[in-house]
């Protein structure tokens, strides 16, 4: 089981976190979703919905925290402004990471054959909603 600050352990019922409703809607609205994670800028998982038992959400969050720090500095240093979203396309999956706030980000991992445009739209909506709470 993966440790989380608030929310649920994988495959275990627990009290609803403030993120839960948004994560569940994101899961329903993005076909092929494998994992959805809310993480702190230090890489700590705040909440997650893992649909793939092989997904290591702790490693995913930690690695993306580092990646987003590097990409964010690059974006700012090159005059492009602050990083909002990062998309990683690999052989087996697409991963989108989007900032909710300066201290938190949302990660969505989904199947490579699914539509990236719809996923980006749903991530933008979810990040906006989570950022307001």
Structural domain contains residue 108: yes
CA distance 101 to 83: 11
Find, among 46, 35, 29, 47, the residue nearest to 94 by Cα. 35
Cα separations (Å) of 41 from 20, 104, 115? 19, 5, 27
Query: What pLDDT shows up at residue 118?
Result: 92
Quickly list H helices, the chain. 20-29, 57-77, 116-132
Number of domains in the chain: 1
Could you give the CA distance from residue 1 to residue 13 in angstroms, rounded to a whole number?
12
Q: Confirm whether 10 is domain-assigned.
A: no
1 falls within a domain: no
Q: Is 69 helix (H, G, I), strand (E, B) or coil?
A: helix
- The contacts of residue 63 (CB under 8 Å, 6+ apart) are 43
> Is 112 part of a structural domain of the chain?
yes
- Note whether residue 13 is domain-resident: no
Residues spanned by the domain of 108: 20-132
CATH of residue 61's domain is: 3.30.450.30
What is the reported pLDDT for 26? 93
Q: What is the pLDDT along the chain (133 residues), one digit of tens a residue?
A: 344 444 333 334 344 577 889 999 999 999 899 999 999 999 999 999 988 888 899 999 999 999 999 999 999 999 999 999 999 999 999 999 999 999 999 999 999 988 899 999 999 999 999 886 4
């Amino acid at each position: 089981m993966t440790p989380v600050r608030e929310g649920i352990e994988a495959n275990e019922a627990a009290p609803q976190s403030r993120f839960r409703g948004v994560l569940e809607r994101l899961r329903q609205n993005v076909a092929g979703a494998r994992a959805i994670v809310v993480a702190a800028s230090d890489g700590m998982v705040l909440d997650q919905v893992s649909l793939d038992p092989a997904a290591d959400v702790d490693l995913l969050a930690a690695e993306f925290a580092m990646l987003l720090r590097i990409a964010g500095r690059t974006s700012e240093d090159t005059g492009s402004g602050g990083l909002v979203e990062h998309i990683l396309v690999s052989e087996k999956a697409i991963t989108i990471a989007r900032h909710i706030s300066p201290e938190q980000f949302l990660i969505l991992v989904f199947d490579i054959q699914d539509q990236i445009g719809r996923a980006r739209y749903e991530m933008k909506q979810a990040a906006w909603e989570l950022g307001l709470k």
